[in-house]
Amino acid sequence: MNQNDNSSEELPKVKTRVGEVSPWLSLIPVVVGTFMVVLDMSILMVALPKITQDFQATASEVQWLLNAYLITLVVLQTIFGKIGDATRRDLFYAAGMAIFLTGSYLSAKSWCISVFILFRVIQAVGGAIIMGNGLALVTELFPPGKRGAAMGVESILIAASFALGPVIGGWLTTNLSWHWVFYINVPVGLFGVLTAFLLFPPLGNVSKEPLDYIGVILLAVGLGFFTLAVIKGQDWGWWNRKTIWSFIISFAWLTAFIMRELNYEYPVLDLSLFKIRNFSAPMVALFFMSWGMAAAIFLIPYYLQDVLRLTAESAGLWMLPMSSVNLVVAPITGKLSDRINPQIMMCLAPFVFISGLVMLSNIGVNNDFYSLVLPFLALGSGIGMIMPAAMNVMMSAVPKEKAGMASGTIQTSNSLARSIGISFGGAVLTGKMNELIVNAGNRIPSPQEIKLLGLLAVKGNPLPLLEIVDAFLKGLHAVFISAIPIIVLSLIISVFFVSGEEHLRKVGTTKVSIAL
């Protein structure tokens, strides 16, 4: 085995406005922007009851605070990644952070729910610029063979947001007000814009292709209606006309988009990228992993608050082992993915994650913190193993001039997977609860409902509380078990279609370990 390894070479510095600096310093604004956007997806959840009260809003109106943000994010990420290839990506990214913090400030100042939703869309436009170009920035800042650890940072941020969002949002809402869920983005965003201006070298501007506006419209409408159907399908009913027509419109417009891209000289999304084995296979593997991950993890705070009766802050603290282990595993896995066959980590990750799901499939009303540490560690480790390795393989496989397009496509795929995962988890949970409780509906029980049933139990009628807790637990167990086959699909794709050897040749590593 040849011991020459380009990972031992010194990382080349980049020229910025403050002089030559390490790419790790230039990564700071990428970290700030990505964490700010991903955290915003989960931090708002615990503030929604208070927002509903203050605005006297309906449940549907408040739900659109989440839906409008997510749909905008999904629709625009690929498009903004493409724009980043054709412009100064460093300045474009800084502009994205400026738009995001402006949308955050305006959201905190909202005077009615409809305006609030509009400001959330503005916020999401900035978020789409950030997420659509984050991986491309890493690719441009770090040379081949040096990107793995940096990709690990991306995985850390995504996993940490799931755990830290509820606790941060809970603390801010409880001790200050729901407005601070948005105000907190202003100083963070300003810091991000400043560091982007100072620490980014000139980046992007590697493609001179004009933007295909017809393709943009076709993609936006197609993805928008698909995301709408996924998000609202459970509320409307999966066989409701609105759901079916949303899917039909989506498939029609996406088919037209594909035909346009196959025949247009300057496509928004170059479909030939999917012919690259190490781009398409890891994307599909990560799609299924993100699907299963979102289905399981988004319900855990409900279990901690509804069944174990923890506060939102305490629930977030109990979930810290999940994000903490990711802080360790993700950068190690990312760095190893440039030295040994990344297929190894991508195949090991589903096994580890599934072990966590199996352990959680027996949780009940008497679990304490220590009984949940091991399954939480397993979930966090599984996420930390696959994400940086898969992202590194994908971004190393695509041409540099299409890095933004690829980055946006990857993030769009992951966002869709998380949306599908949350809808899937909610559908399995409520479906099981409806089997056990007549007219349970499609709602996940809230901590407020459980608290009221607890008061009823104290007054001598414990049956409603026992019934709903038992149904919720059985539904939760069904979600964890149902997520396992989805994670297995990720394993199958990784085993049979990802080429770790090809990745190592691409990044110039000659020290090659086990090949699967």
Task: Kindly tell me if the per-residue pLDDT of 516 is higher than 60.
Answer: no
pLDDT digits (tens, 9 = 90+) for 23-76: 888 888 888 888 888 787 777 766 766 777 777 766 556 667 777 888 888 888
Per-residue pLDDT tens over the stretch 219-277: 888 888 888 888 777 777 788 888 899 999 989 998 998 888 888 877 777 788 888 88
Helix (H) or strand (E) segment spanning residue 20:
strand 19-21
Residue with token string 């159907």? 229
Q: What is the pLDDT of residue 98?
A: 94
Pick the range with the lowest mean pLDDT from 74-83, 246-255, 351-360: 74-83
What mean pLDDT do residues 373-396 have?
87
Q: What is the sign, positive or negative, of the torsion defined by CA atoms of 83, 86, 92, 93?
A: positive
pLDDT of residue 58: 62
pLDDT of residue 458 exceeding 50: yes
pLDDT, position 207 = 63
Crossing angle, helix 277-297 and helix 500-507, to 10 degrees?
Answer: 120
Mean pLDDT of the 92-103 span: 93
Residue 8: predicted pLDDT: 42
Q: What is the pLDDT of residue 444?
A: 67
- Please, which pLDDT band fits residue 483 given cuts at 50, 70 and 90? very high
Comparing 482 with 512, the larger pLDDT belongs to 482
Number of Cβ within 10 Å of residue 373's Cβ equals 15
Question: Would you state the pLDDT for residue 111?
Answer: 85
The confidence score (pLDDT) of residue 355 equals 94
Of the segments 336-340, 357-361, 400-404, which one has the largest average pLDDT value? 357-361
Question: Is the pLDDT assigned to residue 4 strictly greater than 60?
Answer: no
For every residue of 319-345, which 3-state class applies, written as one string? CHHHHHHHHHHHHHHHHHCCCCCHHHH
pLDDT (0 to 100) of residue 441: 63
- Helices (H) and strands (E) counted in the chain, each on its own, are 21, 2
Q: Are 348 and 381 spatial neighbours (Cβ–Cβ below 8 Å)?
A: no
Domain boundaries, the chain: 16-211+268-507, 212-267
Which pLDDT does position 512 carry in this prediction?
43
- For domain 16-211+268-507, which CATH number applies: 1.10.3720.10, 3.30.70.1110, 1.20.1250.20, 2.60.260.20? 1.20.1250.20
Q: Which residue in the block uniquely carries the two structure tokens 């026992």? A: 466
If one compares 511 and 385, the residue with the highest pLDDT of the two is 385
Q: pLDDT at position 348, please?
A: 92
What pLDDT does residue 447 have? 61
- Residue 390 scores a pLDDT above 80: yes
Whether the per-residue pLDDT at 510 is higher than 60: the answer is no
The chain-wide mean pLDDT, for the chain, equals 81
pLDDT band at 511 (very low <50, low <70, confident <90, very high): very low
Average pLDDT on 426-435 reads 82
**pLDDT range class, residue 102, cuts 50, 70, 90:** very high
Give the percent of the chain with pLDDT over 90.
17
Tens-place pLDDT, residues 147-173: 677 777 766 666 666 567 767 777 777
The mean pLDDT value for 421-438 works out to 81
Phi then psi for residue 44, to 5 deg, are -75, -25
Q: How far apart are CA 493 and CA 347, in angstroms?
A: 9
- What confidence score (pLDDT) does residue 487 get? 94
Helix ranges (DSSP H) in 398-446: 403-436
